[in-house]
Amino acid sequence: MFGGAGGKPVRVMGVDPGLTRCGLGAVEGRPGAPLSLVAVGVVRTGADEELGTRLVGIEAGIEQWLDDVRPDAVAVERVFSQHNVRTVMGTAQAAGIAVLCAARRGLPVALHTPSEVKAAVTGSGTADKKQVGTMITRLLRLAEMPKPADAADALALAICHIWRGGAQHRLAEAMARAGKGR
């Protein structure tokens, strides 16, 4: 399922959830090997639209991406507490839609924290958006930084999952096997 150092490349779709701009990005690769950009973009909804309409729009956009990209796994940013409760609620609702769409298809879903993603991509869990964007551009050998930042963040999530998700998955499987052997 997950690519290993010598294994088959894995295709991961990253989702940077948001109600106004939901960043989406897909990357293919495996740890220790060059990564390839599959697709990058955003699903947009209008701030003046009803909440239900916005969530349906995000769902339709994510479903279309899943059809087009055909990922092996989906990585979603883990929502963390922010000072603005309205912002965190919208982000959590969009994240829930992403998890639902992936689960409906039987795709594994991983949640990664922003600091985990930053550390995986830049080496520092406190990197700023420009540092993350610069590293994404280098790692995927792109001519320019993906824009908007939500799209770059989605690519960072996918890269983080390729590099860390496989190891986490194998560790969880090993721990489950060890638990059954007791």
Among candidate residues 28, 59, 72, 150, the one labeled active-site is 150
16 noted as active-site residue: yes
Quick check: is 77 catalytic? Answer: yes
Could you tell me the CA-to-CA distances from 165 to 18, 20, 67, 88, 131 in Å, in that order? Answer: 23, 28, 22, 25, 22
Give the burial class of 48: count Cβ atoms within 10 A of its Cβ; 0-12 exposed, 13-18 middle, 19 or more buried.
Answer: exposed
Catalytically annotated residue among 16, 59, 72, 153: 16
Is 68 considered catalytic here?
Answer: no
Distance (Å, whole) CA 130 – CA 145: 9
The answer to whether residues 127 and 121 touch, using CB atoms and an 8 Å cutoff, is yes
What are the strands of the beta sheet with 109-112, ordered from one edge? 36-44, 21-29, 10-16, 73-77, 109-112
Q: Tell me which amino acid residue 97 is.
A: I
Catalytic residue among 59, 77, 144, 173: 77
Distance CA 41, CA 22 (A): 9
Looking at the annotation, which residues are catalytic? 16, 77, 150
